[in-house]
Amino acid sequence: EAGVAQSPRYKIIEKRQSVAFWCNPISGHATLYWYQQILGQGPKLLIQFQNNGVVDDSQLPKDRFSAERLKGVDSTLKIQPAKLEDSAVYLCASSHYGSPVRAGGKLFFGSGTQLSVL
């Protein structure tokens, strides 16, 4: 079974530039998550999709971050304009069922995109 695919692996940009990350979840997984992990911290949820609808985006800085999951499969996370504090690893995860509660919580993570904002 193929895992969660993310690209690019690394990205270096200057502040105020824009950047986009891509995620392809495990085939058939209904729920997709984007997490932000700052160095030395645990991952923090940015947005949760179920199919192509948003379940939770309460911690997404909507003035600069946006995400979409067209057709309920792969997803793109965008930052525009980037700030220094956006430097982090952006992790995508997916689960089979509609919510981790019903699924028993089994999430599969991609390797992440490491973003450096200079």
Partner 1 sequence: KQEVTQIPAALSVPEGENLVLNCSFTDSAIYNLQWFRQDPGKGLTSLLLIQSSQREQTSGRLNASLDKSSGRSTLYIAASQPGDSATYLCAVTNNQAGTALIFGKGTTLSVSS
Which positions lie near partner 1, rule CB under 8 A?
Answer: 4, 33, 40-45, 48, 50, 55-56, 91, 93, 98-102, 104-112, 114
The percent helix, strand, coil of the chain (3-state, each to 5) is 10, 45, 45
Q: Quick one: 16 or 77, whose CB is closer to partner 1?
A: 77
* Structure tokens that stand for 3 in this block: 């895992």
Of 23 and 82, nearer to partner 1 (C-beta) is: 23
Choose between 43 and 115: whose C-beta lies nearer to partner 1.
43
Strand 88-95 to 108-109 pairing? antiparallel
* Closest CB 96 distance from partner 1, rounded Å: 13
Q: How many Cα neighbours within 13 Å face the side chain of 18? A: 9
CB of 54 to partner 1, least distance (A): 11
